[in-house]
Structure 1
């Protein structure tokens, strides 16, 4: 009897080649992967996640040469960003060619592509003759998984998980598209906006779209625990509003709040990369504690703090 969690690359490749879904590790979060050239396999992603088909998927590649299989007319600024940040937590929205299924792109003329920075997954992909579509490996709107165990808790034996250890970054990729020559950020993520601007100049933000999202992560309710979550600028004030409740705190750097059952500290040294790395794992832990509410502290609106706040804002839209 095979275990759902495995390190067997050959087994995972064979499953993908036979049209099955496999959860794969990346530096951002675990993804639910399937052959992006096989509509029947892609349909399994949507069905497994309970994800609406109007929400497009991201295609994962292992080499820049694979862009030729998927795209046409790649903007120069996209090439600059790819050279700077690939492999890494950046997804580029590019004009698709006729080989890319409308199911993957939700009928749009563009496709989201990234090259993950994870040795095991790059090795897996290099042994396939197709790229994979891979949204996060969680039920739709739930907290993203940053470990093989998180995925297994969601799907059990129904999904084979390639165990690549905990995700180093722990936050989804930043998604960048283009309107004419202007870069547009559709999702804040593991590459800070400041880093994008340093590479290609000014950017436009377009991160909310409920009906026809251009990219994943644009819906208002997303990344949500089952436990109600409140994003707060003042933890003490929020604690006073929930007396006699079982409260968990997700704090930026302080661990001395009173009035809660538990406090999870994202980074005592105020390191935003460390905070991003810990975000989802701590949300998973708090969500398993049968609390009445999670009070999360708003972080500084700089660097990865913007991306973390974005996730927490969407998480409270339960």
Structure 2
């Protein structure tokens, strides 16, 4: 039995205390953040954290992000807190930034994917922050979707994957950003961008200077994942996804050609981007990169429900949030990319 708590219009602290009690009891609670919905459990409870992996079908070496509500909790979880972490937290927390630090022994191996580091963030969502405070626990919470599938940006998306399988879903409406947090590793120097996300890299570099981009961001395979989104297939709908990249007008011409070709082969074709190209299904992502990021996972889930065979996606410029959008699109496509040069 899954309890669904509606908090779209206002936060009911009495009901939120029910969810907080479930966290303390080692149960699973899906909740909204500003990025995507998270599937939460007590980060320091080994059995509870293991249930996240079981529910999602998540590989055991794919670490979880630990969500906190106050900066002081960082010192409970990490054995070293460099000045750069304090600078970033002061500027961007609460917000879509995850910081990787050396972990303390109090954090169980299952939560960190067996690593000696812990990924920490403070979400900019009032429901999430109150849930963490009321539970009295740091909450481990990857995205609340079946592993490998598009992340959820609404409670309905969570219910599609987990209704009847977890104890509670908190419905806080649609998320504001739509892609997961940016992950920065501060255990190396210069710091390393492990996953682009809701906070643009350019903003981070204004605060701490040069940040190296990990090759995994562009598809290089890794043996050890210090962050979610590095090692395994992510964000993919059931249909085959192809990303078309290049100058805007050439991309449009190429997608129009591909739609025609696939339809002539009897394929049911979906397009996500700025126009339909006479496809069987179309999802308009928006004019700005912020709109594209917010709508991306919703579009991929829409194509699943529409039962298309092929999804053609327009690439965007890799600046600001565009780096995160292209990272997600390329992973959703399994790096099936067509260059429209």
* TM-score normalised over the length of structure 2: 0.88
Question: Across the two proteins, how many residue pairs are aligned to each other?
Answer: 313
Q: 2:154 aligned with 1:137, yes or no?
A: no
Give per-residue Cα distances to partners, 1:2-57, cap 9 Å, x unaligned.
Answer: 74454420221111111101101100011110001110101100000000111110
| CA-CA distance at 1:76 after TM superposition | 1.3
Whole-angstrom CA distance in 2 between matches of 1:118 and 1:207: 31
Q: Is the 8 A contact 2:4 2:171 kept in 1?
A: no
Q: Is the 8 A contact 2:75 2:81 kept in 1?
A: no
What does residue 239 of structure 2 align with? 227
What does residue 308 of structure 1 align with? 325
Alignment of 1:87-106 (within 5 A): 87-106=94-113
In structure 1, the gaps of 5 or more residues are none
- Residues 93/231 of structure 1: CA separation in 2 closer, same or farther (3 Å cut): same
Of 247, 250, 258, 2:272 maps to 250
SS of structure 2 residue aligned to 1:281: helix
What does residue 13 of structure 1 align with? 20
In structure 2, the gaps of 5 or more residues are 8-14, 246-250, 336-341
Whole-angstrom CA distance in 1 between matches of 2:103 and 2:163: 34
Whole-angstrom CA distance in 2 between matches of 1:67 and 1:147: 29
What does residue 202 of structure 2 align with? 194
Give per-residue Cα distances to partners, 1:48-82, cap 9 Å, x unaligned.
Answer: 00001111100000000111210122111121111
Q: Is the 8 A contact 1:75 1:181 kept in 2?
A: no
Give per-residue Cα distances to partners, 1:265-306, cap 9 Å, x unaligned.
Answer: 211x3x111111111111111211011111011111111111
Of 305, 313, 317, 1:288 maps to 305
Alignment of 1:110-129 (within 5 A): 110-129=117-136
Of 1, 9, 23, 2:30 maps to 23
SS of structure 2 residue aligned to 1:137: coil
Give per-residue Cα distances to partners, 1:87-128, cap 9 Å, x unaligned.
Answer: 000000011112111111122111000000001111111112
Alignment of 1:117-196 (within 5 A): 117-159=124-166, 160-196=168-204
* TM-score normalised over the length of structure 1: 0.94
Alignment of 1:257-296 (within 5 A): 257-267=276-286, 269=287, 271-296=288-313
What does residue 48 of structure 2 align with? 41
Whole-angstrom CA distance in 1 between matches of 2:131 and 2:200: 28
Q: Is the 8 A contact 2:101 2:187 kept in 1?
A: no
Whole-angstrom CA distance in 1 between matches of 2:188 and 2:321: 27
Whole-angstrom CA distance in 1 between matches of 2:304 and 2:205: 36
What does residue 224 of structure 2 align with? 212
Q: Is the 8 A contact 1:185 1:207 kept in 2?
A: no
Of 211, 219, 234, 1:203 maps to 211
What does residue 85 of structure 2 align with? 78
CA RMSD of aligned residues (A): 1.6
SS of structure 2 residue aligned to 1:28: coil
| CA-CA distance at 1:195 after TM superposition | 1.0
Deviates more, 1:1-10 or 1:303-312: 1-10
